[in-house]
Amino acid sequence: MTPKTFVSALAAADLPSVFNPWRDRCLLHDRRDAAARRRANLESVLTAALDVRVETIWIARDLGYRGGRRTGVPMTDEIHLTQASALMGGIALERATDGPAVAERTAAIVWQVLNRIGKPVMLWNVFPFHPHECGDPMSNRCHTRAEREATWPLLQSLMSMIQPKRIVAIGRDANMALEGLDIPITAIRHPSYGGQREFIDGMYDLYGIADEPTTSPELPLGSRYAATARVFA
């Protein structure tokens, strides 16, 4: 499977009370071609991951409504698209929404760590879409077992395409869901609900990075990234 065919397979999925960012359009926030822009974003990330032969995939549980739902790039909000572009070799990524860029706390912490590590990784979710409560598309919920089973072949296809040497499971739910894969898995606490310090410590220990004082990540776009931005409005 290629990045293009993988993204096409993602875009074909249609599940109730689930937003598929590579297929669906949010009438409140999305541009008319939002789904196409998100497909292009993900295809660019996947192509870059193959080009640099990423060895590690970080996998969390689900897409959040403030992050990957809007950008098409897992664990990446609109504030951090520029960092994603730079880390993956300067690929072009596009915003798919109108209005001010929206930040997500988990994405801010993830990208704080990625910027310190300084090497490309692939970001993904056990359930690749955004599950929400019925009638409330701007809510988050945990995916069901049936939803995970329905999309499991997509995860297997990603593993086959990327062929990672290691998976970092972010959070207990992700770690439990990934049991049984024939790839070494390291479990790290999810940064939400008071887990920021443990997440950062776990990642730094895993990558052999000296500790540094923990600071709350800035949600507004920092000026130091402006020069590397290849995000198109």
Span 114-134, pLDDT tens digits:
999 999 999 999 999 999 999
Query: Residue 180: its pLDDT value, please?
Result: 82
Q: How many helices (H) and strands (E) does the chain have?
A: 8, 8
pLDDT higher than 80, residue 5: yes
pLDDT higher than 80, residue 219: no
Instruction: For the chain, list the strands marked E by DSSP.
Output: 18-19, 56-62, 93-94, 122-127, 130-131, 166-170, 185-188, 231-232
Query: Residue 216: its pLDDT value, please?
Result: 45
**Whole-angstrom Cα Rg for the chain:** 16
* 57 in Cβ contact with 121 (< 8 Å): yes
The DSSP element (H or E) to which 147 belongs, if any, is: helix 145-162
Tell me the per-residue pLDDT of 179-218, one tens digit each, with 9 for 90 and over.
989 999 999 999 998 999 999 999 999 999 986 645 544 4
Query: Residue 232: its pLDDT value, please?
Result: 53
Q: What is the mean pLDDT of the chain?
A: 91
Q: How far apart are CA 153 and CA 188, in angstroms?
A: 24
Angle of CA points 43, 39, 189, to nearest 5°: 75
Report CA-CA distances (Å) from 184 to 33, 126, 128, 169.
Answer: 38, 16, 21, 10
* 129 in Cβ contact with 89 (< 8 Å): no
* 77 in Cβ contact with 108 (< 8 Å): yes
Q: How far apart are CA 87 and CA 112, in angstroms?
A: 12
End-to-end Cα distance, the chain: 30
Fold assignment, 3-232: Uracil-DNA Glycosylase, subunit E (3.40.470)
Q: Who wins on pLDDT, 220 or 177?
A: 177
pLDDT higher than 80, residue 221: no
Mean pLDDT across the stretch 87-111? 96
pLDDT band at 222 (very low <50, low <70, confident <90, very high): very low
Mean pLDDT across the stretch 125-153? 95
Alpha helices per DSSP H over 12-144? 34-51, 68-71, 81-87, 105-117
Task: Classify residue 57 by its DSSP letter.
Answer: E
Every domain of the chain and the residues it spans? 3-232
Q: How far apart are CA 77 and CA 95, in angstroms?
A: 10
Mean pLDDT across the stretch 61-85? 96
Query: Residue 225: its pLDDT value, please?
Result: 33
89-112 exposure pattern, b = at least 16 Cβ within 10 A, e = fewer: eebebbbbbeeebbbbbbbbbbbb
